[in-house]
Structure 1
């Protein structure tokens, strides 16, 4: 049936009106620029990290005066907007910010506690890269409290410099960023220190030069790194470099004060452990292996800073085995949120048992049972829920030891072939990324072909001493 000319014109007018109305509605429904979140919502640290963007790279320039403990610094951050941003946040604790630029133009900013809110001159478009330059200064303060064995942690002054070990939330004591392991990035770190002192950081040493009577060491890591794994440890060090027998570059820096007080060959053991873990877990994931051994007895702990664990002192081979296992479990494969911390500490502790097995000094079966039998059922140890240990007890001994026990129970349940295939597949598939306990359970079930809910529920999520 044909329409008359007037009817056709009326229909066209109605169609145009409908199209215009739909366009207005679409524009009204389209989200405009909005603020990025001031945290990623980790239940342990709700305001750590930031929403609305993904940091890709940090360029840090650090000028440190050990006499005054004063730091003058700048951070150039490259990020990608994950939404259209009217403002965004950065984490920085207590240091004074003097200027902020976004894409080379000055930007307004405000401070509220540990949060910097930046308002660029123009909104940042979703999917586009942008740069932020922050200039700041002050005296970084170490954090303290119950989390890290009751010790101070973060930026810690030593007699000749500074010892920097930041897990879980202290990277923002010395540089601005998104201080959560879910937002990994590459780093260039330039450390300017008085002549005679050495600045040691992650990755490989790109260059060393003298500027204004100071030594500038430029370090670069091309592999993604969580912020808590960054270090800028400064002091007097004896440095030895080379390659492991397996060909991995190695850099070991030891405070001369400790050279004769350690009965462990740090360089030799680091090389040997790196090569063995490379055989067992898969190719070493980073540019360089090594160690930073500093005279910092107040710390009382070591940390798996990426490529070069920092040790307040080296007490045993086993300590080195633990921190280097973290290069795979924790550094390359990082937790998505902090409640999965056993994926770091349980795995590294279990690796200590594997090292003893490798050296013929015991086996993981017996070591697990010795640890199990040494702890009566009434001990508080068995009341920690390893799969969700809570913030202030996230480094409780059960996270390490019961986490390791869980892996041995799993190994005996599924057999060596499936177990070691699981470890290698896990680190290969999640390399340079993040993962959760649920992810690991799913992998274990897929690779073993077994239903493992009961095992993991009992060992990770149930209080009390499980029956063997």
Structure 2
């Protein structure tokens, strides 16, 4: 995610939002085991910074989302089918869901009982689920989605209704505002979407259309499929009236661009630049990890962009090349390679920020070295130096240090190991963890292994010390 600096200058009164743990975490210490050896899945996935996010005891493989949304009433009717596997003997388990009324739940087609407490939906299947067994949960629900709000840190995010549809950006934990799920990036899954909207409204989701939209009775249903693993916060169902352009990048990757009519003049630029950037990053970071690329510009004044998988979205502004380069770099760093804990967010934002500098260098503008030096000239009293980006703070996740000082860390590394090793490292990093999860420690280990150098002092100075590195 990246804020639109130009847009934010004009929208200073608006929010300044920018966008993990193994799903098989054991139940919390002290949790009683039932007499038959089955226990309840934990109500959190195990991220100490976000203890209520996600859930323990199972791992999701696939989400099937069926959504019917009426912009006039802002009402959503939904059915979510979740295919998962138990990672412990389960007597019950939790899903994350904010608001919305649950009308019924089945587990393996049998009615299940459930309770609600805050954003926790606790499901008790008719029969306990054995460890390693697969099971299918179907949740039927409805209501008026309400976006998540955290003015001290994250602003407004999730399912945000607009005049003609919805603007859907869920980082870090807003997907629970429109469908029940395991809402933490540590548990990735594939997705299918069937989205029904009034005729004349377009529904844009992740992945690719699986067929032509079908219109009947004044409504149109769009079916999308993302067959590559995806974190829940990257799922989108952005709805509205859009101008579309579809084709392929010069390198042959399917390219889908959509703009609200207010931004119709930016459609060709969005399409062309997204294609050019996607192809170029393929030469720098390794093969593009997904089956399509592109972007969406909606008429919602968010003042930020988010890297929704295969469909980066730009909220209420025409993105320049730098922002497009940032969001598409996230398709590698954040989307394909996903953090296990939010504290390692610099692995997303620092890499995408450095990608902006590499794009500038590629286009013959300011070099990464020059940009690095401009930032390093900031006085020692600049707040950036007091925030070590290697440990993103839960109440200030998207601090500018996570972006800028994170990017500077990569340039310091590049200077320390040389261009040849650095760019080989980037490709090895993305190849070795493709569609998986990553940590800062694993990146440091790989950098030391490939360079043959002790890089501990460098990473300590740039990522963990609350002062300006020399």
Same fold (TM over 0.5): yes
**SS state of the match for residue 329, structure 1?**
coil
Alignment deviations for residues 340-374 of structure 1 (CA, whole Å, 9 cap, x no partner): 0000000000000000111111211111111222x
Stretches of structure 1 that go unaligned for 5 or more consecutive residues are 1-27
Aligned residue in 2 for 1:233? 238
Aligned residue in 1 for 2:193? 189
> Do 1:229 and 1:306's aligned partners in 2 also have CA atoms closer than 8 Å?
yes
CA distance in structure 2 between the aligned counterparts of 1:281 and 1:31, rounded to whole angstroms: 50
* Structure 1, 400-409 or 212-221: larger mean CA deviation: 212-221
> Do 1:264 and 1:314's aligned partners in 2 also have CA atoms closer than 8 Å?
no
Change (3 A) 1:205 1:359: same
Matched, 1:288 2:322: no
Matched, 1:397 2:400: yes
> Do 1:237 and 1:255's aligned partners in 2 also have CA atoms closer than 8 Å?
yes
Equivalent residue in structure 1 for 2:352, among 345, 348, 358:
348
Aligned residue in 2 for 1:249? 254
Aligned residue in 1 for 2:323? 319
Equivalent residue in structure 1 for 2:207, among 200, 203, 206:
203
State the shift of 1:212 in Å: 2.7
How do residues 139-150 of structure 1 correspond to structure 2 at under 5 angstroms? Answer: 139-146=144-151
Aligned residue in 2 for 1:96? 101
* Larger Rg computed on CA atoms: 1
Alignment deviations for residues 61-95 of structure 1 (CA, whole Å, 9 cap, x no partner): 00001011110100000000111110000000111
> Do 2:259 and 2:267's aligned partners in 1 also have CA atoms closer than 8 Å?
no
CA distance in structure 2 between the aligned counterparts of 1:264 and 1:322, rounded to whole angstroms: 19
Change (3 A) 1:215 1:147: farther
Aligned residue in 1 for 2:92? 87
Matched, 1:162 2:166: yes
Equivalent residue in structure 2 for 1:451, among 446, 450, 454:
454
State the shift of 1:460 in Å: 0.4
Kindly tell me the number of residue pairs found equivalent between the two proteins: 436
* Structure 1, 239-248 or 264-273: larger mean CA deviation: 264-273
Change (3 A) 1:147 1:322: farther
Aligned residue in 2 for 1:173? 177
**SS state of the match for residue 259, structure 1?**
helix
Change (3 A) 1:96 1:185: same
**SS state of the match for residue 345, structure 1?**
helix
> Do 1:147 and 1:391's aligned partners in 2 also have CA atoms closer than 8 Å?
no
State the shift of 1:147 in Å: 6.0
CA distance in structure 1 between the aligned counterparts of 2:319 and 2:125, rounded to whole angstroms: 50
Q: Which runs of structure 1 show a deviation greater than 4 angstroms over 4 or more consecutive aligned residues? A: 28-31
Matched, 1:122 2:127: yes
> Do 1:101 and 1:107's aligned partners in 2 also have CA atoms closer than 8 Å?
yes
Alignment RMSD = 1.5
Aligned residue in 1 for 2:411? 408
Matched, 1:73 2:74: no
- Using the size of structure 2 for normalisation, the TM-score is 0.91
CA distance in structure 2 between the aligned counterparts of 1:118 and 1:229, rounded to whole angstroms: 25
CA distance in structure 1 between the aligned counterparts of 2:469 and 2:288, rounded to whole angstroms: 35
* Structure 1, 203-212 or 428-437: larger mean CA deviation: 203-212
Alignment deviations for residues 407-449 of structure 1 (CA, whole Å, 9 cap, x no partner): 0000000001111111101110101011111111111111111
State the shift of 1:163 in Å: 0.3
Matched, 1:363 2:381: no
CA distance in structure 1 between the aligned counterparts of 2:311 and 2:72, rounded to whole angstroms: 26
Alignment deviations for residues 82-127 of structure 1 (CA, whole Å, 9 cap, x no partner): 1111000000011111100000000000001100111001111111
Aligned residue in 1 for 2:437? 434
> Do 1:147 and 1:394's aligned partners in 2 also have CA atoms closer than 8 Å?
no
State the shift of 1:29 in Å: 12
Bigger relative contact order (CA 8 A; separation at least 6): 2
CA distance in structure 2 between the aligned counterparts of 1:129 and 1:84, rounded to whole angstroms: 12
> Do 2:115 and 2:122's aligned partners in 1 also have CA atoms closer than 8 Å?
yes
> Do 1:81 and 1:128's aligned partners in 2 also have CA atoms closer than 8 Å?
yes
State the shift of 1:30 in Å: 10
Aligned residue in 1 for 2:264? 259
> Do 1:57 and 1:77's aligned partners in 2 also have CA atoms closer than 8 Å?
yes
